[in-house]
Structures are given as C-alpha cells and as structure tokens.
Chain A
Amino acid sequence: MRSRTRGKSRSPFRAADNGSGPGRRQVLAGGIGTGALLALPDLGLGSHPASKSTTPPSGASARYTFVYGTPDAGSVTTGSLAAASTPAASSPATSTPAARTRSHAATVAPAAITLSSRGSVPVAVNLAATPVSSPDQAITAVATVAMERDGAKVTLVLLDAASAKVAKQGSVLLKGVPSGAHVLVTPVFTPDSSTVSLVLAISTPVTKRVVSKVHGHTGKPLPRVTTSWVSHHALAYFDQRTGSMAGPFYLSDEPSLALSTAAANGSELLLWTTREPQPDDSASLRANASLSRLSIFPLGSGKARLSVAAPAPWPAGEPVVTLPSGDIARLVRGSHVQVCAVRTGDVSEHGISAFSRARARPSAVTMQARPDGTVFMTKPGSGVALVADPSEEFSAKAQVQFFPPATPLGAPWSKAVLSAEGDTLYVLGPAHGGGLHAYEVSSGKLTASYSEGSHYNGLHQMPGGTLLAVKPDNPRLAFFAPDLSPLGTADTNLFVSAIF
C-alpha cells in the first residue's frame, strides 16, 4: 500500500536572491521553533497550451505559494527550493501526449523539465507554529517567539502573497514569562483580514522535584527531575490598517490546556478553551470534564462579552470556518459540524452524512469557506468530498466519491482541492496507483487522471490554477496543469507539512 523505498534527497539548492522576493539576509528567524517557510511563484499557466481554462484570475497569477515544512537533517537551517517561473511550452512535458483520459489512468513519463533556482525564496525559519493564511489567501501570517530578558517577544509577520515580502509586522511582549516557558501562538484572521487576533497560550514551569522512574527498556530506576506546568492564555490584536498591536490582554483561565480553537467574524473573536483537570477536582467538576468553554471577545478587547460551556470535544486543531452570518462552524470528530451562534453562544450540531461511515483509522478532514457561502469539505480516508450549504444544515449540494489515497491521515492534510470555479475536484490518486485524479463535480465522474507510479501525499492548487503535489523524495514538488498534464518538478530540502 505504501512506498517502502528509503530514498536519499538531493543536495538542497540554495535559492537565488534574484530580487523577486526577500533575500537571504531578510529571512525571518524566530528564537524558538523548527519550521521553515519558502515562497514559490506560480508557474504562469497562461503559456501552457494543454491547459483548459488556464486564464488565471486577475492578479492571482502573480501570487506566491508558501511551502511550510521541516528541513532535512544535516541541511542548512533555512529551507531552499528550486523552481521555474515559467516552464517553456516546448518542454518535454508539453510534447508528451496529455495524460487525460475519461475513465482510466494513463501512464505518462514524469515531466523532465529541469527547473532553475530562480524565483524561489526562503522566507522564514524557526517558526513557533504552523503559519495561517487569510481567507482570500492574499496574506500569510507567520509567528515567531523570542525569549528576552524581560519576557517573551511574540512577533507577527504578515507576508504578502503577491511579493513574498513582509507587508506588515508587529510585536507584543509577554512580560515576566521565564525562559523555560512555552508560548504557542495562533493567528486568527477576520474575514476581511483587517484584524489579526493572536491567541497566546503561555505554559510556565511551576515546580520541580526529583523522582525515581523505571526505564521502559532496561527496567532500572532512573532519577528524573520532573516539572509541573500551568498554562493560561492571553490575547493580542494587530490592526493591519494602522499597523498597531493592542495587548497583551491576559485571561484569567489558569489552569487551562494550551490547545485552543479560535475564529473571528468582522467584530468578535470566538475562543474555545478547556480547563485542565486537576487531581483534587470536585465531583461536579469531574462530571463536566468533557465540556470546554466558549468565550466571545469584541475585537481589541480582553474582556469576554459572553462565556459559556461548550459541548465536547475539546478544541484540538479541528477545522473551523466563519460563516457568512458571522456564526462559526467547527468540524468535530471528523463527522459532525457544530455551529456556534455568535449572538448567544448556543451550539447546534449537524451530522455530515457523507462522513458518517465509521472506519478503523481516522482520516484527515478539511473544511473551507467558499465565496458563495457554501463550504468545501473533504474526508479522504472515506474517499469523499462535498460542497455543503450551511444555511440548510450543511446539506450536500454536490458530492464526489473517490478512491482513498495511500496516506489519508499523514501530512499535508490537503488531499483534495476544488477548482476556483467549483466545477472540478482534484484528488490524490488511489492507494494502488498513486498519481492524481480529476472529477467533474456536477456528475461525480472521473474526467482525467495522471500516474507514473508516484504516490503523492498532499495537493494544493496555486492561485493561477497550477496544481502542486508533494511526495516523500526529491523531486518533492510536482506541478500539473488543470488538465493534469505534468508541468515539471522541483527539489526542496523541506519535508513538506503544509502549503498556503
């Protein structure tokens, strides 16, 4: 089912400082963290003759795509990437018969384009958390944390996708946070991207003691200095128009779990947190341990307008979107949507019938808001994607079944993407064949496929329409036209975790 070949990556390229983005000296570096971010230009689909509907949205073709991941061990700390700005139309890929079929996969040799290193730029290293993109994908938020003498300095950097350059940035100092603390930063965009809220989880060591613990392998007792921790949250708000940061506003939610879920509408921030269970909790606290707490803050404020108990499960990185009404939807347990009415904090739950089939293994799940008010949801482990209407209890407006890919849970979680027009679903190919498949959304029929034997692990559609698929070994990045014609490949020294 899976490739078992242990491949060796090629030596990473150093990206050229060609003036198309930030150069090496401008690479952002956080004090804590391991992730790295690269900017990758779209491939100029307009020049590709095999493409249909290749006219990119106005302005979209100029956008960069950001690739986030972990650098290879032993490589330079910054990720690097080789990519072309425009593959030549006469390249081997385009002279090869297109891999389009109506109902079966073609076996076409992979494109042999050699891509230059021009156009790719390392952007950031040592990130404190996975970056977050704005709803319109025009901005990507990157957070770094640096421990300083008087506390933890959290810096929010907003990257402009059109230039891969820093558009705005702001910092906030968390005074008194000791050097051994952990600070988890979650940026949250408003729908119009005008405000970026920062949810800051601060975990501080409080007591240390030496204990004896049996080693799991040897069975021998080992002395161990153990640390107990306590976590609480703070908020800060960055106003893009003024470039000002408000906060920090410390929440009195200690002891809390650091993990939270947050979303914003145009005027308020909704925050799900969980009280950390304590050994001496009363019976009533224990009985309500499955509940989390939903607090609603006016943007710019550290005082909740409303704070109510919220139903299970605890917040844990589940997909969340802001609906046109301003209400917030969480996709929980991989099968249900909880809608929070922002006015009252009431939560209603809707089962997604396409996701209801239980399986032995969890699957990645995604949920994205679409401009027409619908949401696009995927559950690749069940081989299903759908467009649902939140105004009709998330009933399916369109649904496509596909063969589950080989890695339905592993990173990146994006295994299926919907074209901007909403008419084509692109998915990773099945476990037995790999490659890519395309389906007509209206009919659910397979319309194109491509496979030369590679199993891809993640799929992203760049703003100009180019598809970007990632795989384990270099060349890790493969580019395809919307008709699945291969455009080329590129090396990177990043193990890719997510694409923005």
Chain B
Amino acid sequence: MTGYDTAAPIQDTYQSAHAEFNAKPAYWIRYFNPSPAADLFENDAVGESRGAWDSGGNFVGCISAPHQSRLGGSAAEGHADAQAFCAALLAAYRAVRPLELPANGQLYCFLDQEYSTSLSLAYWNAWAGYIAEYNFAGLGSYPLYPCLYCDPYSPYPNCTTVAKSKGLDAPAAIWSSEPEPCGTVSKPPKWRADVCGTVPTRLWQFGEQDACNLSANVDLDLSAPNFSMAAHAFWVKSRP
C-alpha cells in the first residue's frame, strides 16, 4: 500500500502527483501543529479533505514536526508539543464533518525526528504519554497512538531512546526515512526499510522528492507487509 506525504496542501499537490505517477495514492500524510515551517492541515481542513477525496486517496495520516532543537529537551517541551498536536487534530476533526477516526480506533500520530536531531527520553515519554492518554473529543476511547518518524541508523539517539519507553508510551510504529531506492506509487520497491530493534517499522519513506528528482511535491511511502497505513489514518468518508 503506497501513499504520499507532503508539507504542501493536498488540494495544491495531488494533480501534479497524478500527472507524474498516473496513479492514486492509498493515503496521504500531512503536517499538523506544531510544525512551524510547514503549511498545516488544520488551517484549511475542509480544503485539504476535499483534496484528499478528489485525489482518490481519502485517508489522511498525521505527523508533527516541532522545532528540532526541542526534541532533545525536557518533559515540559515534549508535553507542550504533544498538547498542541492533539489540539490541532481535534480542531481538524471538528472542522470537517465527514472526517472520521479509524474504524479500528487507532490513529497513528507521528513525531518527526530528522537525521541530525537528538531525541531525549524525557521529551519522548512526555510527548508519547500525552498522546496515548488524550481523551480525544471526549469520546473516552483514547484513539491516539504515538509513533516515530526517524532514520533508524542515524548516529543520533532515536531507536535507543524509544527502546527505553514502556507500554503504551512505546511507539506503535516506526516510519523509516531510509533507505531511498526511489520508485513510484504503482511500482514501489520490495520492502526493506531500515528498522529499530524494539519497535516494528510499519511505514517506509522509500522516495524523497529531492533525492529522487520528483517534480510533484510529494515523498513516496510504503506500508509494511500485512499493515495498512490507511487503516490508521483519518478517513474522509465523503466529499466535504
């Protein structure tokens, strides 16, 4: 199952992606607050959801990319970033009537840790704990699951950090940024994502726009065998 991630609005992006790959993605992954350098999904959730619907990939996964110096910081910083992420998810959910939670009750929420960024255990535990314990929309179902986007073989602390987290504070999934063999949505490479030792890698960014010379503003992602990323994303049930 392949999809796109992008820092640009879906409605501004999907047509060029269609033109380049002549295929529909199974899902999108979009940035939510706090991501101070990106266009944010929740700032035009209706337009973005329409774009996702029109693209044929009517599932939207969630990632947050805070200022990267914060990820090596304190529990207070991790708590604050997770709180803002959950609030942004709720704002988007409230703004789009046909935007629904996954049927399995597990919405994966990724923290963006870049190659040269350190992740401290204090930050991660506070971030992940807040996500895991967030009573989303007062539903009492606690559907948010903390997950980590990272380059597992980076020399900076990432896998070693989350390996120390326990229970529901451990990432539900790793989204690996390496390697980058490139490919297309309809012809992805065979699954060989880099992995962390203790947490399953369930998503692989096998092609980045710059590294793969893509003209569309998308990176290419592949779900692990027997895993559905779309089933762990917001579902745009109908065109808003």
CB-CB under 8 A from B79, the residues of chain A are 182, 184, 203, 229, 258
Interface presence of B165 (CB below 8 A) = no
Interface status of B154 (Cβ within 8 A of chain A): yes
Do the beta carbons of B91 and A277 come within 8 Å of each other?
A: yes
Given contacts A129-B76, A211-B142, whether A276 and B34 have CB atoms under 8 Å apart is no
The answer, yes or no, to whether A458 is at the interface (CB within 8 Å) is: yes
B184, CB-defined interface residue at 8 Å: no
B142-A33 in contact (CB<8A): no
User: Given known contacts A182-B79, A257-B80, A495-B118, is B39 in contact with A333 (CB within 8 Å)?
Assistant: yes
Q: How many residues of A contact B (CB 8 A)?
A: 85
Q: Are B122 and A34 in contact (CB under 8 A)?
A: yes
Interface residues of B in 62-118 (CB under 8 A from A): 65-77, 79-81, 83-84, 87-88, 90-91, 94-95, 105-106, 112, 114-118
A333 and B156 in contact, given A2-B115, A184-B76 (Cβ under 8 angstroms): no
Contact indicator A274/B106 (Cβ below 8 Å): no
CB A422 to nearest CB in B, in angstroms, measures 24
**Distance (whole angstroms) from the CB of A243 to the closest CB of chain B:** 26
Min CB gap A321→B, angstroms? 14
Q: Which residues on the B side are within 8 Å of A217 (C-beta)?
A: 170, 172, 199-200
Q: Is A343 interfacial (CB-CB < 8 Å)?
A: no
Of A93-101, A356-364, A386-394, the stretch lying at the interface with chain B is: A356-364
Among A56-64, A406-414, A460-468, the stretch in contact with B: A406-414
Whether B23 is near chain A, meaning CB under 8 Å from some CB there, is no
Identity of the chain B residue whose Cβ is nearest the Cβ of A312 in the assembled complex: B43
Interface range for B? 35 or more
How far apart are the CA atoms of A130 and B70 in the complex, in Å? 7
Cα(A316)–Cα(B70), bound, Å? 11
Q: Which of A5, A32, A277 contacts B74 (CB 8 A)?
A: A32
Complex interface bits, A199-238 against B, C-beta within 8 A gives 1, otherwise 0: 0010100000001011111000010101111010000000
Inter-subunit contact A213/B142 (CB<8 Å) = yes
Q: Known interface pairs A290-B91, A318-B36, A362-B7. Does A495 touch B168 (Cβ–Cβ under 8 Å)?
A: no
Known: A224-B168, A279-B138, A495-B157. A69 touches B80 (CB 8 A): no
Q: How far is the CB of A186 from chain B (nearest CB, A)?
A: 10
Give bound CA distance, A472 to B116, whole Å: 7
Q: Is A163 an interface residue (CB 8 A)?
A: no
Q: Mark B1-34, 1 if CB is under 8 A from A, else 0.
A: 0001111100011000000000000000001011
Contact A413 B84 (CB under 8 A): no
Q: Is the CB of A472 within 8 A of B80?
A: no
- In the docked arrangement, what's the CA distance between A497 and B94, Å? 36
Check if B210 sits within 8 Å of A130, measured CB to CB.
Answer: no
Closest to A260 in B: B80
Among A227, A361, A410, chain B packs the most CB atoms within 10 A around the CB of A361
CB–CB A289/B94 < 8 A: yes
Q: Are B36 and A317 in contact, with the CB atoms below 8 A? A: yes
Q: Are A410 and B117 in contact (CB under 8 A)?
A: yes
A407–B80 touching, CB < 8 Å: no
Task: Find B68's partner among A7, A213, A409 (CB 8 Å cutoff).
Answer: A409
Return chain A residues, CB-CB under 8 Å to B68. Answer: 364, 409-413, 497
A-B contact pairs, 6 of them (CB 8 A): A33-B73, A33-B75, A316-B66, A333-B39, A431-B210, A497-B73
Give chain B's interface residues, CB within 8 Å of chain A: 4-8, 12-13, 31, 33-40, 42-43, 65-77, 79-81, 83-84, 87-88, 90-91, 94-95, 105-106, 112, 114-118, 120-123, 126, 130, 132-133, 135, 137-140, 142, 145, 151, 153-157, 160, 167-168, 170-173, 178-180, 199-200, 208-211, 214, 216-219
Q: A216-B171, A411-B68 provided; 5 other pairs, C-beta below 8 A?
A: A127-B74, A258-B83, A312-B40, A358-B217, A359-B210
